[in-house]
Amino acid sequence: MLALGSLIGSGWLFGSWEAAAVAGPAAILSWVIGGLIIGIIAYNYIELGTMFPESGGMSKYAQYSHGSLVGFIASWANWISLVTLLPIEAVAAVQYMASWPWQWASFTHGFLANGRITSQGLLVVFAFIIIFTLLNYWSVSLLTRFTSFISIFKIGVPLLTITLLALSSFHPGNYGHSLATFMPYGSAPIFAATSVSGIIFSFNAFQTVINMGSDVKKPQKNIGRGIAISLLISAVIYILLQSVFITTISPKLLAAHGWQGLNLNSPFADLAILLGIHWLSVLLYMDAFVSPFGTGVSFVASSGRALQAMVSNNHIPKLLGKLDEKYGTPRVAMVVNALLSMVMVSIFPSWGTLASVISTATLIAYLTGPITVISLRDMAPDFKRPVKSSLLRVMAPLSFVLTSLAAYWAKWPTTVEVIGVIFLGIPFYLFYEWRSGWASTLKQLKAAAWMLVYLLFLSLISLIGSSEFNGLNWIHYPLDFVVIIIGALGFYAWGINSHIFSKYFRRAARVNDKVKMPRQ
């Protein structure tokens, strides 16, 4: 329930509209591609999650195989994405509030202007972030009860919306009558939509199960099971929602405005009103609170544990990893994350921009997953593996390639801007290396060279890549994909041969030693 409560968040409220605006009816393929990419990425993390069922696992795995610098980069990128997730859920709720049609709620119309949250709306967003944090402040058990209750509502409303809209308005001709009308903007936007329209972001929440690993009962079974079931259910729901969105739109409205001209601040609620299903629009306005609320609350826990886990890398203040003795929650980390979330939403006050930033930062963190899981196969063949993936030697490089492509699809300058934010963390790392007397800095740099150079490579390709992805068009589409695939395979080979034995590997051995293997 924790994973599903995170997965069905604001992505369903806005993703279909955003994707259709980018790719037209072909957006349905974007959801399939996005789901497959995240599913393949998750395949790698299921083995890691069951090997090391611990709090904040996503922030620790890379250091086990490649030392502190790679671990720091991965955890920093993952943390940036999680901190940005808190405000995007609050923004979703406030954006739907701004469309409330009732006379008594006219004051909410000032929360949004030109698709961006206003200063007045920001205050409401801040209030939501504070509430998200307070619900996590006392205990995990409170969080679990809360998300279990909300998950039922969050699944039911999208399914009801799919059914009622499909029965009320069905225009299959909106898919087009030829390849040109199915893909009105070409094939490149199909790929771009996966990163810039919130599709990758919508599937991203599987990592909640990983980061809460120490709180999962029977992790050797339930981590993999929870990820697989929640991803499958959410993929089906998201694809059906996109299909219904495409076929519900009036052909006259499409003829007048086109897919890119549809101005829907509250997409599904607006459609319900246009079709005269006013009670459904009321339910959707309610769900605009509930869905983001459940996801936001879940990710306060996940981001808090991610920041707490970064302390184990010994390159951020230890105060951030302090657990409350009575409630067992990382309260200091939660407060810091809440404050930084408010800063992030002040800089990026729109749902679409936040979704793109989250997707890119998350994908960069995911680059280390396949490298780590294969490296640990070579470094520690005797480690306990409750789930040993038989196809990993194929799925790991495939995951690395697809993650690289998806990061590129976020377009210039977003890809480079997020990579720049990740590099901003390096001075913190170097400060703590200086405090330790540069004891193993050279060794860590050698182990991380592949990652540092690869981020520069992705930045360069984003700049000189095709115009379809806002590059200088020195490399035309789809040749830019070929360049990234070849480059990714080369850096993958470099990465899996750069692992090192360190104190973090010894720590991994101690964690793995406590793992209970499932009965045969």
pLDDT of residue 216: 64
Is 196:352 a contact under the CB 8 Å cutoff?
yes
Residue ranges of alpha helices (H) inside 204-277 are: 207-211, 219-248, 251-257, 267-274
How far is 276 from 111, CA to CA, in rounded Å?
A: 25
For 105, which DSSP code? Answer: G
pLDDT of residue 465: 98
| pLDDT band at residue 139 using 50, 70 and 90 as cut-offs | low
Is 52:61 a contact under the CB 8 Å cutoff?
yes
For 516, which DSSP code? Answer: P
Under DSSP, is residue 112 helix (H, G, I), strand (E, B) or coil?
A: strand
295-318 pLDDT per residue, tens:
666 666 667 767 777 777 777 787
What pTM, to 2 d.p., does this model score? Answer: 0.91
| pLDDT band at residue 224 using 50, 70 and 90 as cut-offs | confident
Write the class of the CATH domain 2-513.
mainly alpha
281-297 pLDDT per residue, tens:
999 988 887 766 666 66
Phi-psi region of 200 (alpha: psi -120 to 50; beta: other; left: phi over 0): alpha
315-337 pLDDT per residue, tens:
778 777 777 666 666 778 888 88
- Using the predicted structure, report yes or no on whether residue 142 has a pLDDT greater than 60: no
Average pLDDT, the chain: 88
